Amino acid sequence: MTITASAVPPADSPRSSGLRRAYADTRFGQLHYAEQGTGATMLLLHQTPRSHDEFREVQPLLATGHRVIAMDMLGFGMSAPLPRPQTIEQLAQGAFALLDALGIASAVLIGHHTGAVVAVEMAASAPGRVDALVLSSSPWTNADYRASHADGPGVDAATVAEDGAHLLELWSLRRPYYPAGRPDLLDRFIRDALAPGVDPMEGHRACARYLMEDRIPLVTAPVLLIGAEADPFALPAVAKLQANLVNARSVDVTVIEDGTIPLMEQQPERVAQLVTDFLGRLGFLGR
């Protein structure tokens, strides 16, 4: 059963008209999502600790020919909480639960950072349900990654302080990796990091627990790998992902100049064009 909320008022652009937010009832609890457009489905999966808001700019650009659903992944945003320790497998099951609740058999998956890892697991566990895969700034989570990241300090590690110093710490940890002159993007990150029940570090730990090297050979869908030139955490993984997508139908690779960690918000037009061109080559556009 799906409980649909009222339409979201237009925001910064008339392209945002037609966007609707809703909740879907699933075995995990209610999952929150934003939907726009009609046609074949795209499912957008955000990074840690963000929400569907990460795709605010790019979603309407993709919705001209598709039904585009940006979800708050299980444990994030306004979706049902997910107890620790969280796993990528659980996040993937949550995404499939949303598709099931909406009666969607298959979709193009677009994942950014943690969302890309979730997309890999979805494509590995249910290849018949993934039409194509867009992996933006995905980490490569092999044994070395796990050893260096599991339960250790990270970019979103800030201890809650009575004087609120952790708020500035969260901001300061991310600031070097965000585009200059865009404090609005850091505002949006902080809001999501402080959402009730969200642990800003747990999604990163879930990535560090994931055995990607065992799962990625099971991916058979066509893949577009997008790297961000100024993302020092994820850019080195692009070549490793490409080398390990040994059974994908095809693998396209693009690195976006001056792209940073909030790539979806920073360069939405460039991202949308890459995705549209990729799907057009595959014959999915407007299907």
Q: Which residue has the higher pLDDT, 5 or 123?
A: 123
pLDDT tens digits, 43-59: 999 999 999 999 999 99
pLDDT value at position 263? Answer: 98
pLDDT value at position 102? Answer: 98
Mean pLDDT score of the chain: 92
Of all residues in the chain, the percent with pLDDT exceeding 70 is: 91
First CA to last CA across the chain, in angstroms?
26
pTM for this predicted structure? 0.93
Least confident range of 23-32, 100-109, 198-207: 198-207
Give residue 9's pLDDT band: very low, low, confident or very high (50, 70, 90).
Answer: very low
pLDDT tens digits, 131-158: 999 999 999 999 999 888 765 556 798 8
pLDDT value at position 284? Answer: 78
- The residue among 74, 54, 71, 69 whose CA lies nearest residue 260 is 54
Backbone angles phi, psi at 134, to 5 degrees: -115, 115
pLDDT value at position 47? Answer: 98
CB of 107 closer than 8 Å to CB of 130: yes
pLDDT value at position 151? Answer: 59
CB of 43 closer than 8 Å to CB of 110: yes
pLDDT value at position 52? Answer: 98
Give residue 67's pLDDT band: very low, low, confident or very high (50, 70, 90).
Answer: very high
pLDDT value at position 11? Answer: 42
pLDDT value at position 33? Answer: 98
pLDDT at 177 over 60: yes
E strands, the chain, in order: 2-7, 20-26, 29-36, 41-45, 67-71, 107-112, 130-136, 223-228, 251-256
| Domains assigned to the chain | 2-282 (3.40.50.1820)
